[in-house]
């Protein structure tokens, strides 16, 4: 490991508990019920501001400076907000095949900007994977709404200190965006109802951390070195990082994968989380290297060696990535972090995912691994944006204050703009177009 990499790793140790509460990083168990909130946090709206889709949401980037949004969307509003965008702007809404354990139907939206065939979409944005990470769904929906309002009004967007032109908006829209704002509807509904700082889904047979359930080194006990300081996942249903009974055992993760399968030319993927103030790029299992393709997650010869950072005797392993891919991923992440930092003057950084802590089964690593494991699939760069910083509630620091929630809307708006503008410069893989014939591929 280069000294700069080692220092970056040391710098992440203090941030480990940003995504996991104290004790959880070492495999701590969930408490049956947490204590009441210790400080005021952003409230959850009790009604439906979007009236079942009759009213469209509007983010901060398309409104005058000083505009405030002081309440979170409840799970009903999240769906109503997307319906509002459908009604106001004519975007497409879709539902996914598998219902959750509590019978919820997952949904998302498509912003095709003139093209609406499966081959026309290049960007995939998800949020709400971890139930307690409040604000993620709101931030994604408000960003999409800002794009659509700015397109209609012929304006640019302003996120705090970051300003974007109308031409920037059009470039972003020209990428073709799929978004799914509520990946964990059961978990979010439960967390909002109880305030229990709930992270996982609500599988009655054992609630699962959805961001350990994807098919990337899911069998961590085989793939990773034993006795890591921070386990990459857990096989204990009582632990917050429980990875389920198998990869894609959960309907929520199968639905995320279904989108990747259905839209075969997706090139750029972001999963929105909180709250380490970081933009993470592949890989998440170990340090990157560009010289030895045999050191790959696909190679069982290296089972039992992954996850030691820095390497130790008997556990020498670094995950292979091509230099162009590493450069592209780092460039995009750096631009996103810079934009988020500038928006509200809070510190953000870009780092390789493994330097937060080694992990298995995450959505971003799965996205990037698909074309490595199967050369017939399109390359899909995967990123995780960890917006925000610890909130005032000492029992659940994932619940932001009103001011923190406000800043996170500005920061993620700028982050998404930088992500899409830079991704467009790095390349969408191929020109966006639809076949001239076929009922499933019309121009919208």
User: Would you state the structure tokens that stand for residue 234, as one six-digit string?
Assistant: 């857990």
User: Is 123:426 a contact under the CB 8 Å cutoff?
Assistant: no
Rounded CA-CA distance 124/112 in Å is 12
Question: What torsion do the CA atoms of 369, 372, 374, 375 make, to the nearest 10 degrees?
Answer: 140
Catalytic residue list contains 51: no
DSSP string, 221-268: HHHBPSS-SS-S-BS-TTBTTB--SSTT-SHHHHHHHHHHHHSTT--E
Residue given tokens 């470039």 in the structure block: 171
What distance separates the 2 farthest-apart alpha carbons in the chain? 62
Estimate the crossing angle of helix 136-153 against helix 166-173, to 10 degrees. 120
DSSP structure class, residue 306: B
DSSP string, 53-96: GTS----STTS-TT----SB--HHHHHHHHHHHHHHH--EEEE-
Q: Which of 350, 361, 374 is nearest to 284 (CA)?
A: 361
**Which of the following is catalytic: 133, 239, 386, 426?**
386
Residue given tokens 């799965």 in the structure block: 366
Rounded CA-CA distance 209/198 in Å is 10
Rounded CA-CA distance 33/419 in Å is 38
- Rounded to whole angstroms, what are the CA distances from 62 to 50, 94, 166, 362, 400? 18, 25, 11, 33, 23
Backbone torsions φ then ψ of 341, nearest 5 degrees: -65, -40
Work out the burial of residue 313: count CB atoms within 10 Å of its CB; fewer than 13 is exposed, 13-18 middle, 19 or more buried: exposed
Residue given tokens 């769906």 in the structure block: 79
**Cα(first)–Cα(last) distance of the chain, in Å?**
50
H runs (alpha helix) in 112-243: 136-153, 166-173, 185-194, 220-223
Residue 93: Cβ within 10 Å count = 15
Catalytically active residues, by annotation: 386
């Amino acid at each position: 490991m280069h000294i700069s990499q080692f220092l970056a790793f040391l710098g992440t140790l203090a941030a480990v508990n940003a995504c996991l509460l104290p004790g959880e990083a070492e495999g701590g168990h969930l408490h049956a019920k947490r204590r009441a909130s210790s400080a005021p946090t952003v409230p959850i709206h009790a009604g439906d501001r979007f009236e079942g889709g009759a009213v469209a949401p509007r983010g901060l980037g398309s409104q005058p400076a000083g505009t405030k949004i002081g309440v979170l969307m409840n799970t009903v509003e999240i769906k109503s907000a997307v319906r509002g965008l459908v009604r106001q702007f004519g975007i497409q809404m879709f539902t996914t095949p598998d219902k959750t354990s509590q019978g919820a139907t997952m949904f998302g939206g498509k912003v095709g900007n003139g093209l609406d065939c499966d081959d026309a979409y290049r960007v995939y944005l998800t949020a709400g994977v971890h139930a307690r990470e409040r604000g993620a769904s709101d931030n994604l929906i408000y960003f999409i709404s800002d794009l659509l309002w700015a397109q209609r009004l012929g304006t640019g967007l302003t996120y705090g200190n970051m300003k974007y032109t109308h031409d920037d908006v059009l470039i972003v829209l020209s990428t073709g965006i799929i978004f799914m704002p509520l990946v964990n509807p059961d978990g979010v509904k439960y967390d909002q109802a109880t305030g229990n700082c709930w992270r996982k889904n609500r599988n009655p047979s054992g609630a699962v951390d959805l961001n350990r359930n994807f098919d990337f080194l899911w069998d961590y006990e085989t793939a990773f070195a034993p006795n890591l300081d921070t386990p990459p996942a857990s096989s204990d249903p009582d632990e917050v990082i429980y990875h389920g009974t198998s990869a894609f055992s959960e309907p929520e993760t199968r639905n995320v994968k279904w989108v990747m399968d259905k839209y075969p030319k997706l090139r750029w993927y972001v999963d929105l989380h909180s709250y380490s103030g970081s933009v993470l790029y592949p890989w998440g299992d170990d340090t990157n290297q560009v010289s030895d393709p045999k050191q790959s997650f696909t190679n069982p010869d290296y089972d039992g060696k992954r996850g030691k950072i820095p390497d130790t005797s008997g556990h020498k392993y670094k995950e292979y990535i091509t230099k162009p891919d590493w450069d592209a991923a780092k460039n995009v992440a750096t631009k996103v972090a810079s934009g988020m930092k500038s928006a509200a003057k809070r510190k953000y950084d870009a780092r390789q995912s493994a330097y937060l802590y080694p992990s298995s089964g995450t959505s971003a690593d799965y996205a990037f691994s698909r074309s490595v494991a199967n050369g017939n699939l399109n390359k899909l760069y995967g990123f995780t944006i960890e917006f925000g910083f610890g909130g005032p509630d000492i029992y659940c620091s994932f619940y932001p204050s009103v001011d923190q929630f406000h800043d996170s809307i500005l920061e993620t708006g700028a982050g998404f703009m930088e992500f899409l503008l830079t991704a467009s410069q790095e390349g969408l893989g191929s020109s966006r177009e639809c076949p001239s014939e076929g009922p499933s591929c019309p121009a919208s």
